[in-house]
Structure formats: C-alpha cells, structure tokens
Amino acid sequence: MKKIIVSLSLAIWCCGLATSQPQTRIKLLPDEERYFTVGLLGGVYFLQDQVFQELYGKSAPFIGAEMTLRFPIREPHGMDIAAGGRMLTKKGLTSYTEEDIRLRLTDLFLSLRYSYDTGRFALFLGPGIEYITYRETYAETFPIDSTQGSQTGLHLTGGGYLHLTSSLSLKGHCKYCLIATDKPGFRINLGGTEWGVGILYRFYF
C-alpha cells in the first residue's frame, strides 16, 4: 500500500515539474559579478598520513581566512583568484611512550578557480598551491623540544557560495592537498582532504 502511495506521489510531482512555467531568475548580485570577498573559514582537515592518524586521530579542525577576487568572463562564467590561510592545532600522544605532543600546521594557499555564479549561488573549481609550515612540540621527557619546518604543495579545490544578501555569502568547499616532506629523514604525507564552511563579505568594484 505504502509503495503505491509513494509511486503515485512521485508521478504527480514529475508531471507538475514537466508542465510548470519557467521561473524568473532571482538574482541578488548585479549582472557583472566582479567582486572581492573576505571571509572566515572553519572546517576539518583529514590528513592522509597514517602516523598522523595514529598519533593525533583521523582529522583536525582548523580555522582560516580567505580573500577572493572574481573576474567575470562571460556571466555566469568567471575566474576566481583566491588566497588565504588556515591554522590547525592538535594534541596527541607519541606512539609508544604516550607522551604529550602538539602539532600546529599553518597553511597559506593561492588558487586559480573557474567560477560559475548565478547570482543566487556560485560554484567554483580549480587548482592552487599550498605553503605549509609545521611545528611539533614535545613533552619535557622527550629527547628533543620541538621540530619545525615548511613545505610547498598543490591542491585542487571545489565548492560553492550561497549568496544570502548582495554582500554576504555562505561558503562550502572541499580541497584535496598534495603535499609531503622528507625533511625529518623519512616521508610524512601532509596532504589530505579539507572540508570547510565559511562566511564571506563582498565588496564590488
């Protein structure tokens, strides 16, 4: 019985869609979406490194900031240049002695993204470069105090904006980072997948 009711409902909904009139596009933004945004980001970074996962857990939360400069090419198509950074800190334990350790990853990025902006929402996708500085600090009983260094890498990012007002948007994104270092004498994969949301304020020019 339930199956019949659900099937009928789906059929009526599909017929409605097929016969509906075209809707007027609701636009919050001007026709030429040439703008500059600043925003705050937050999210979770899932590092791929198995040792990281063993010591710190599978993910680490981060906060960050982002600036985006959009150049329309032929609306709704355009290009974004985005730059920003994020920082994450996480406490963990060494693998055998279980001493406290603390990791701080600071990440600066620059992306060049294709942007499809309807005025109500926008989608983007593009590659970029990453510059990560890392610092791991250890307990007093550990043989050394800390380790620090930096490394550059690449990323591919994609996501979207939901324009709440003409100046304010929500952002959701996913970024896959390719970055690894051999500086300690062994390989550490600092890459992974970042999932984040943010809120942005837009300036037009």
26, two tokens: 């609701």
Distance (Å, whole) CA 135 – CA 96: 21
Task: Find the shortest distance in angstroms from Cβ 128 to other proteins.
Answer: 24
**Binding footprint of other proteins on the chain (CB under 8 A):** 49, 51-52, 54-56, 92-98, 101, 103, 134, 136, 138, 142-144, 147, 149, 184-186, 188
Task: Find the shortest distance in angstroms from Cβ 152 to other proteins.
Answer: 17
Q: Which is nearer to other proteins, 94 or 118 (CB)?
A: 94
Q: Which is nearer to other proteins, 22 or 143 (CB)?
A: 143
Looking up tokens 């896959």 gives 176
Cis omega (within 30 of 0) on the bond before 61?
no
Give all strands (DSSP E) within the chain, no chain letters: 35-47, 60-74, 77-93, 100-117, 121-138, 146-163, 168-178, 180-181, 188-189, 192-204
Task: Find the shortest distance in angstroms from Cβ 153 to other proteins.
Answer: 16
Q: Contact, 154 vs 131, CB < 8 A?
A: no
Task: Find the shortest distance in angstroms from Cβ 80 to other proteins.
Answer: 33
Q: Which is nearer to other proteins, 78 or 92 (CB)?
A: 92
Q: Which is nearer to other proteins, 47 or 200 (CB)?
A: 47
